[in-house]
Every structure is written in structure tokens, then in C-alpha cells.
Amino acid sequence: MQLNLKNPLVFFDLETTGINIAQDRIVELAFLKVMPNGETEKKVHLVNPTIPIPEESAMIHGIRDEDVADKPTFKELAKNLAKFLEGCDLGGFNIVRFDVPLLVEEFLRAGVDFEVSQRKLIDAQKVFFLMEQRTLTAAYKFYCGKELEGAHGAEADNDATYEVFKAQIEKYNGQAVTDASGRDLGKIENNMASIHHLVASNMVDLAGRMVFNDKGVEVFNFGKNKGKPVADVLKREPGYYDWMMQGDFPLDTKRKLTQIKLRGFQM
């Protein structure tokens, strides 16, 4: 089936040096741009992360230091990648909690202000977990009836995710989704706005340190201030802002925190 798209949708997958969003780097990326008319375009790059690739990570994706020694750094690719992604929504498997935050972090380190707040985020893993509770390999088998060959390679995982997402839309189109308490979350529809609403609409920062509560207010999502409005905490505890800005938090989290703080001065 063909997806109902208003904007181009780029499915992407990253292989990295590790899972720390603030510190780890991309070693391989695969982009699959799907146009509203159904045409597709691919970009696949090995990337020199400028830091050593730990053996435990290399054992997963098979990419070692010598494989990327002569490859471009992300900073060298950043402007062309940002242009390729201009005006596009983003899709993938487990991108909301990992791939998108890490991609944004890399762009920020490269001096490119890559903003995702106006983009729809389409996470096939979220849809899968809402409906079936499985992994990408199992999802590919379940939805597409195929064995996933080359798992943990960016291109293979990315292509499989695109197929899985199309199959999800075809299988669940029109079905209602509820949470564990029975609260209505919306419907699965061949409409990227509805999918974004289900998987990513409550995020403030990409790492999930701050979220919107059911009243649309930004609240902290961790630590002693979990559930408390961010603006209230920053007014009541000015030192908390300094602690987060000096701490090991992603640049995107610090950027969003600063935006909320500055907004308070304008009120």
C-alpha cells in the first residue's frame, strides 16, 4: 500500500559507538526518503565518529575503527544531511527515545540547528508495542512474513522498518488505541499526524527528561521534581537550572530547558 503523506517521510536508522546520547557518536546512517507520490530515495553513509568504537558495540553492528578511519565525520556531512531532511517528517524503529535525540545531538555538535518540533515523528516500534509487543526481527516476521537478514546493519534495519510500518498501517488502519487504564489515545490511521500524536506528542525534549502533562504543561519526568511544572521549579529553585546545565544532559535537553527559563522572563 502507499502511505498517505503530506510531507516527505524519511525513515532512518543509526549504528553508533554506544547508547549514551550525550557522549556517543554515529558510525553508520541510512536514510530512506519516501515522497508523497510514493517515490523513494536512499542515502547510506559510514561515518568516522572521531572517537574509538568499543568492541562491545562493534560486535553488534560489525563496524570497527579501521572501517571508518577514512570516512567523513558527521560534521563534514551535516549540512548536506540537513538539506536532505529539510521539510521532512522522520520515521524509524525506536527513534523517539534514541535515534532522533542522538541525531539532533550530532547536528548541534556540528553547529547545525536541526529542529524537530515541527516535524512528525513516526516510530514503528511504538506502534508495534502498542499493538503487539515485540522486537524489530519479530515485527518483520509478524507483519511481513519474512526473516530479517542482516539485522543490526543500518540499511537492512531501515528497509525492514519501512516495510513494517506500511504493514502496520494496512493492518490497524481505523483501530482505536487505549492505554493500560483504558484511556482512549486515538486511532491508527494512514495519516502521519495521527501516528505522531500516538507516539511522540507529549515530548518536550527528545531524551524525555521533560514531558507535557495532560493539561499541556511542561513537567519534569525524572528525579525529585518528577511531575512538577518545569517553570515553577526553575522559579522556586534557581540552582536546579545551573545543575542541569552543568550536568551530563543532552544539548537538546539543555536547549529546551533554557527556552522555558527565558520564556519566564517574558511573562
CATH H-level, domain 9-201: superfamily: Ribonuclease H-like superfamily/Ribonuclease H (3.30.420.10)
Intervals of the chain under pLDDT 70: 133-134, 180-181, 266-267
Which 8-state DSSP code applies to residue 165? H
Helix (H) or strand (E) holding 127: helix 124-131
Alpha carbons 136 and 193: distance in angstroms, whole number? 23
Q: What three-state secondary structure class fits 45? A: strand
> Which residues make Cβ contacts (< 8 Å) with residue 3, sequence separation at least 6?
9, 34, 38, 165, 166, 169, 190, 192
Q: What is the pLDDT of residue 169?
A: 94
- As a whole-number percent, the residues of the chain with pLDDT over 90 amount to 70
Using the 8-state DSSP alphabet, how is residue 71 labeled? S
Strands 176-178 and 40-46: unpaired
Indicate where the chain has its CATH 3.30.420.10 domain(s). Answer: 9-201
Write down the pLDDT at residue 185.
84
Q: Which amino acid is at 167?
A: A
The pLDDT value given to residue 181: 66
CB 43 within 8 A of CB 30: yes
Tell me what pLDDT residue 77 has.
97
Q: Residue 207: which of 233, 237, 244 has the closest Cα?
A: 244
What does the pLDDT read at residue 266?
A: 66
